[in-house]
Structure 1
Amino acid sequence: MSISGEQNNPYGPPQPNPYGQVPAAQNPVPAQQNPYAQQAMPQGPGAGYGYPAPGVPAPPVGAPTGAPGASPGGAGRGTSGWLWAVGGAVAASAIWGSVLFATGGFSSEPTPDLAGYAYTGDLCADTSLTPFQDAHFKTKANTGTASKDANPQHSGTQLKTLDTMTCNVSFEQENAGSSAYSSTWLYNTATLHRGADPAPEFADGYRSYEKQDAAVGYRVEAVTGLGDEAYLVTRKDEGGTSNSSYVILGVRDGWMTYQSTWSSYASSSGSSGGKQPTAAEVATMLKTSATETLKRLQNSRSR
């Protein structure tokens, strides 16, 4: 049974075009080039390794050397190597800076030259008294039990820039008569300078005795064979008949300074045990004592 006005079967074979074959366009529009398409890398020596091919200008210094169109985050081999080099330099600088801080390389504080000397809490234990004993002087007996009555007396202090040591000895002449009055002292000081070099001012400290405007004059002379430099200060005794003497010996060895001072006086009636030594004799005793004492200080241990 057929139905009038039957619809075409959409699944049937294609029907011929009632208008015939459609002719092709005579002037086709050429395909447009995609402006966003990535261009092919030029080939040639060096191409593809971060270097421009012949005829291609090199990128400016500091510019990424990756492929054209690559983002800054996708830099090529040249950028990566540069970054690694900078990072390595920064790391090396940081390590070297740490070493300098740890070793004091950035410190402005001077390095003291103590010439092998060491601090001792008892300078008297290292002081040589033999030259004075050979000249018939002996240490006075203690007059009491208090520390201030001790003889010899010693003290010492350690600070950031200075270590100071002192030794004071009271002497009396052997076989001195009971009516004799005498006062003889040896004052020794040793200083380890840790904050400043004492050399620039050392000589002038002793030369200044010659410039004093005083009734009693002093003579200053250089001494050889002791430390880096040494000076002897003696009082000018008029007539050479004085029963007193005052002599100073100063020594500098590196940043260590040492001073030994002899001060003595005896009454004119109390010389049964022998006359007072001359300034020249005292100078010899001080130099002999200093030579041995400084040797001992170089072998001292903190006590």
Structure 2
Amino acid sequence: MSTSGEPSQPYGLPQPNPYGQVPAPPQNPVPAQQNPYAQPHPVPGQPDPAAGQPTPSQPPMQPPSQPPGGNYGYPPVGVGAPGTPAGPAGAPGGNGSGGGRGASGWLWAIGGAVAASAIWGSLLFATGGFSSEPSPDLAGYSYTDDLCAATSMTPFENAHYKTKANTGSSSKDANPQHSAARQKSMDTMWCNVALEQENASSATYSSTWLYTSATLHRTADPAPEFADNYRAYEKQETSIGYKVESVPGIGDEAYLVTRNDLGSDSGSYVILGVRDGWMTFQSTWSSYASSSSSGKQPTSDEIATMLKTSATETLKRLQNAR
């Protein structure tokens, strides 16, 4: 609240009087030396009466319920930030107690803070700062509806494995099989390939599968839970044992899971999991061969090398699939 004779705006810019015309001065004004609110010196920013310049009329005291005049407490556009809210007692424009000028300054400070909050909130809404939707880091990977076409089979072919011939008559018996789905929270892709060794005898039984999947996470970062998903294999309280080890050099993190109770002669079960940003990838080798099988089964280490080589090339293809 301002006292009579003080500027209603801290930068000396005259503001329109919201209460109409200024009332006429009294017939017997109080002499300046007896008026405790008289200004002994010109107010900064206001015309100096002593210099012969006209003094603009000042608005009357405003009730406390009204905000400071002009722009709800903000200075006009182009004017610098307000100064300190209250001057020392006895300073020009003060009433000797520091209350009048200080109250006006605090109103300016509060009004400025409220207006600043409103402007900042508007900017956040306009730029999506208040949006609950996260910004997924997909690391350049993109969706494909045929993951089998992007899966590198070269390492397995070099180990004398080939895609098993399709003997079924329906699409459900197709080999390889692929599927994909685009959803709001994630994009998911799968590829299942049945393999067989070259020159394998039809008189022996063997089964070899390569399962590949890729997921683009759009609403939740998979990083906090990724490692635990694979470390959990080691904590299973069953007769089946697994070994889990970290694999450097692929994505942001990768883990290799190997089942221990399968001998190289009877089969292997090996999983490679990779996370790169908000993309997760998994390639699984599952094989079994009867004791009469003539073909030599690859070791778990050989399978791990094939999976890592295939994953490295497959991920490159998914990044260039745009």
**TM-score, scaled to structure 1:** 0.71
Give the counterpart of 2:130 among 102, 106, 122.
Answer: 106
- 1:181-200 correspondence to structure 2 within 5 Å: 181-200=205-224
Q: Secondary structure at the match of 2:74?
A: helix
CA shift in 2, pair 1:241/1:229, >3 Å: closer
Q: CA RMSD in A?
A: 3.4
Partner of 2:42: 46
Deviation at 1:39, TM superposition (A): 5.4
Whichever residue aligns with residue 172 of structure 2, its letter is K
Greater relative CO (CA pairs within 8 A, separation 6+): 1
Whichever residue aligns with residue 249 of structure 1, its letter is L
Cα distance in 2 between the residues matched to 1:226 and 1:133: 22
Partner of 2:288: 265
Identity of aligned residues (%): 67
C-alpha contact 1:50 1:67 (8 A) present in aligned 2 = no
Give the counterpart of 1:246 among 250, 269, 293.
Answer: 269
Partner of 2:74: 85
Deviation string, structure 1 residues 110-143 (Cα, Å, up to 9, x no partner): 2211111111111111100000111111111222
Whichever residue aligns with residue 191 of structure 1, its letter is T
Partner of 1:295: 316
Deviation at 1:204, TM superposition (A): 1.2
Deviation string, structure 1 residues 2-44 (Cα, Å, up to 9, x no partner): xxxxxxxxxxxxxxxxxxxxxxxxxxxxxxxx99548599799
Q: Secondary structure at the match of 1:124?
A: helix
Q: How many aligned positions are there? A: 249
Deviation string, structure 1 residues 143-163 (Cα, Å, up to 9, x no partner): 234221211111111111111
C-alpha contact 1:182 1:267 (8 A) present in aligned 2 = yes
Q: Secondary structure at the match of 1:185?
A: strand
Deviation string, structure 1 residues 185-220 (Cα, Å, up to 9, x no partner): 000011111111111111111111111111121111
Structure number with greater Rg is 1
- 1:195-210 correspondence to structure 2 within 5 Å: 195-210=219-234
Cα distance in 2 between the residues matched to 1:128 and 1:234: 21
Cα distance in 1 between the residues matched to 2:283 and 2:25: 98
Unaligned runs of 5+ in 1: 1-33, 55-64, 74-78
C-alpha contact 1:117 1:297 (8 A) present in aligned 2 = yes
